[in-house]
Amino acid sequence: MAALTSILPANVHALVVGGTAGIGAAIAHKLALALPPTSRITLAGRNATAAQRIIDGIHAEVTGRGDQSKGGATVDFVPVDCGKMSDIKRFCQDYRRDVLQEPTHTLDLLVLTPGILAMNGRQPASTGSSLDLKMCLHYYARMLIIRELLPCLSTNATVLSVLDGKRSDANASGIKWDDMDLSQPGNYGVAKAAEHCLSFTDIQLQDFAVQSNKEGTPRRSFIHAYPGFVSTDIFNTPRLPWYARLGAKGFSTLLAVSPETCADRLLNGVTACKEKDLAGETSTTSESLKGMWNIDDKGRILTNKNRADSETMERVREHTWHAVDSQPANA
């Protein structure tokens, strides 16, 4: 964490979406204890009670160690429902106005971790929505948040999306290009939805990086991370059948790392990517592309990733913005 804080400004503004549980909460906790009191971290999600427990725990830990000058960023909570595109747009507008108080502050670190573990079929993200819930939380909502907050990102900002930057492939052969949201009968499946979300995440983050380079902010970092097997409450969800929950619990006991360990590793990976961007370096797989990175569950930079051509980026971009902007006003 010391290395990460050394490359961040003294008055960091960080936003952790999905920060009320699991990996997001662990990342927020680590940041809050490492960043100086002049920094501000905002947790965003649906569970205000869980957010308050996290905030109280951070405050108690900072108070208990005495020397608050070595950490203890201000932490607050702002509600958002990532299943509703309309609420995401409302949230981003409120965040820019009330928290960042544009143009007083800019956003330095954006962490995106909302998700769901379920084995059931396609289901609406919200009432009236044409998007699938899993695909919405894992892809569409995250990209919309980045788009809406892009104008207020600092010149050295870092965006981290935690999904699966290890097995993602921008050139995946299984993408259904004629049904990108998998809404047609017979096309949807849990594995297929995951493949679409992973591939599109790589492609759209690459598009954001290309856009930042064109706008003269090549030191922004867009990172797709693989967390590995992490012991979180997501495996206890009633959305999974009992035998799947039991199996996940067994594997979790034997193989999973804690959210805190995962957070440490991912933040170390973020630091490595940030240092390369600040130095003007690029991935060995795409010498012309700055600011786009994939890291694994140990925080290691992956250098064997495929990157999309301009036609593919345009195709994903047009689909993504049409999908999120065509939702009903209350969905």
Q: Which residues of the chain have pLDDT under 70?
A: 1-2, 66-71, 117-119, 232-255, 283-288
Number of domains in the chain: 1
Q: Give pLDDT, residue 10.
A: 81
- Structure tokens, 17: 């979406």
User: Which CATH number do you get for residue 39?
Assistant: 3.40.50.720
Reference 205, options 164, 149, 146, 135; nearest CA is 146
The CA distance from 267 to 160, in Å, is 9
pTM: 0.92
Task: Give the angle 274-196-214 at the CA atoms, nearest 5°.
Answer: 40
Is 110 inside a domain boundary?
A: yes
Tell how far CA 159 is from the center of its chain: 7
Backbone angles phi, psi at 23, to 5 degrees: -65, -40
Alpha carbon distance, N-terminus to C-terminus of the chain: 38
Is 279 inside a domain boundary?
A: yes
The CA distance from 177 to 180, in Å, is 5
Is 329 inside a domain boundary?
A: no
Q: Which domain holds residue 160?
A: 2-323
- Structure tokens, 46: 């649906």
Beta bridge partners of residue 160, listed in sequence order: 111, 223
Q: Give pLDDT, residue 231.
A: 72
Is 224 inside a domain boundary?
A: yes
CA distances for 71 relative to 22, 41, 57, 64, 260, angstroms: 22, 12, 14, 12, 17
Categorise residue 71: left if φ over 0, alpha if ψ from -120 to 50, beta otherwise.
Answer: left
The CA distance from 142 to 204, in Å, is 10
Reference 139, options 327, 323, 326; nearest CA is 323
Is 330 inside a domain boundary?
A: no
Is 72 inside a domain boundary?
A: yes
DSSP reduced 3-state for 45: strand
Is 16 inside a domain boundary?
A: yes
- Structure tokens, 185: 């009968």
The CA distance from 158 to 178, in Å, is 33
CB within 8 A of 325, min separation 6: which ones?
A: 85
Is 331 inside a domain boundary?
A: no
